[in-house]
């Protein structure tokens, strides 16, 4: 995949896939073999670890999905985008922003995620 919008769609679709086989196939297209994922609750190194983590999210919130709420802002090999986690009943559980890195093959090599809005200035 060389198109960033296709990569991000596959990545979000992987987060929305309750089936492990489907999730793994989507991440093979969008996620580097040794990619690093971090958010406030998790660190996943490698595709297998991310597949398992997403499975845990689905186990705790069946039917949830990730929706992009922005386009991707990019420079050099970096990107950022916003998203929301939507529960099966349509309730938005959490919003966030992800910062990442794109590998030479066009797949994501790193995502560092933050939940919610930024805190106010001190």
> 34-47 pLDDT, tens per residue?
999 999 999 999 99
What pLDDT was estimated at residue 2? 46
Where do the domains of the chain lie, and which CATH numbers do they carry? Answer: 4-114 (3.10.450.50)
Kindly report whether the global pTM for this prediction surpasses the value 0.95.
no
Structure tokens belonging to residue 60: 């705790």
Q: What angle do CA 115, 94, 111 make, to 5 degrees?
A: 40
What pLDDT was estimated at residue 122? 87
Structure tokens belonging to residue 15: 């987060």
Confidence check: pLDDT of 66 > 90:
yes
Confidence check: pLDDT of 96 > 90:
yes
What pLDDT was estimated at residue 118? 87
Mean pLDDT of 36-64: 97
Confidence check: pLDDT of 84 > 50:
yes
């Amino acid at each position: 995949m060389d198109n960033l919008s296709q990569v991000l769609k596959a990545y979000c679709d992987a987060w929305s896939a309750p089936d492990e086989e489907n999730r793994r196939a989507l991440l093979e297209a969008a996620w580097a073999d040794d990619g690093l994922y971090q958010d406030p609750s998790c660190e996943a190194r490698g595709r297998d670890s991310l597949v398992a983590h997403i499975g845990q999210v689905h186990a705790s919130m069946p039917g949830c999905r990730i929706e992009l709420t922005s386009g991707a802002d990019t420079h050099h090999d970096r990107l950022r985008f916003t998203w929301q986690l939507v529960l099966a009943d349509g309730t938005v559980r959490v919003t966030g922003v992800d910062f990442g890195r794109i590998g030479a093959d066009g797949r994501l090599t790193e995502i560092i995620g933050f939940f919610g809005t930024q805190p106010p200035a001190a």
